[in-house]
Structure 1
Amino acid sequence: MSVLLLRLAGPLQAWGASSRFTQRHTEIAPTKSGVIGLLAAARGLRRTDPLTELLGLDFGVRIDQPGQLLRDFQVARPLDGGASMPLTNRYYLSDAVFLAAIGGDRELLDGLDEAVRRPRFPLYLGRRSCPPVAPITLGVHPGTIAEVLSDWPWQAAKRLRESHGLTVPLEVLSDAPPGAEITETLQDAPISFDPARRQYGWRAVVRTRVVVPNPDGRPPLAATASAGPGHADHDPFAWL
């Protein structure tokens, strides 16, 4: 198997799997339907086009920087000045960074990688109001989704990396392999994006954790205390 890696970062992201009517929620991490939609847009597929090539792809996402939940209270009016549209609460993830992994055939992934680099349609992170920070694609790599997400460097902002230790545990949400203990199910497996008959299937998800190195991190307190007085992380009580 080969894996296409995408770094999904931007001021705002919104990955809804169960939004209805005036409450537009977001999941804590990118959904499979959202990422497949991004790839479909990159290839120039329209909403009414079949997703045949993309439906068999495996999916996993690592939460490198969870960000903060943001609520936006919105009201809209039609251009003719008529009655107002219903009031809505829209939720976003602010200042988040994710590492999404798509597993499949190498030839197909190479084509998707090229499409993301030169997209036919604009790409966005769940909603049109959420443009991504480039570059998005990190290329195609050999191995499984679990292996690649375990080995790839931490993608969080430097200020966050410097506030942690020399290793950091990161949560991973991925398609549950056969026989695995299922953590949860999400209705985010895309079948059709056609507005007239939009369809999503249920997907079994497993949550795991990986520990990745953090070269920008701080050494453990005991190690810094031994450096003596004047050290930047010196703890005076360590001498007592």
Structure 2
Amino acid sequence: MTKVTAQMSVSLDGFYTGPRDTRNPKEMSGWMRGPEAPGFFRITRWAVDAMGWRERMGFAGGEQSINSEIIEETFAAAGAYVMGRRMFDAGEVPWGEEPPFHAPVFVVTHRTRDVLERQGGTSFTFVTEGLERAVELARDAAGSKDVAVAGGGELLRQVLSAGLLDQLELHIAPVLLGDGQRLFDPSLGLGADDGIELVPTRVVEAPEVTHIRYTVTGRSKLVLDDRGASGDLVGPAQPE
């Protein structure tokens, strides 16, 4: 059964890039010189050093490690991708003529553009009918494989908030950035009495990063836990 999956590198304090780049989208090809890049490259250092990523990008070298195996596994599982327009604008030039996806990519956007065909089996289709339509098209294209949310963080939050995400894998880098774009923020639309529940299904530890995979089980109401309480006590007793 086709799953909708996502994976994201984050800092220990929850940021996936540095502060947001506010330039015009037409200038995003210079993204690596903007404020988001330093934080992004710190938390993705584990991937840049991995042989699986470097081979996918057409680079030599890299380490054959558990990190590399996870990258290879992630690419192999995806039959199609969904992506935000900012992610595409930032990546179009750096990815070059053979982007790393090697599968159809559906870009959620308000700006129309003809389908962009690249080498290696990657195509970019620009979907203006909304997120749900992009996921639907990606499901059709993925066959028996998964639909992977390729970023950025804003689109991932939209997919999660809409209840479309089945699996989330976080790659947690041991660094505190202190500022930047936080992966989970109020745009998830959660109230004071509800949350999105996740069940951890795999934890892989490495010196550079900890990989945690979750199954997303959906929204649920938050309730006061008064197990073991007596009288009006509704939480753990505090030491005197």
| TM-score above 0.5 | no
Higher strand proportion (structure 1 or 2): 1
TM value normalised by structure 1 = 0.29
Higher helix proportion (structure 1 or 2): 2
TM value normalised by structure 2 = 0.29
Whichever of the two has the greater Rg, that structure is 1
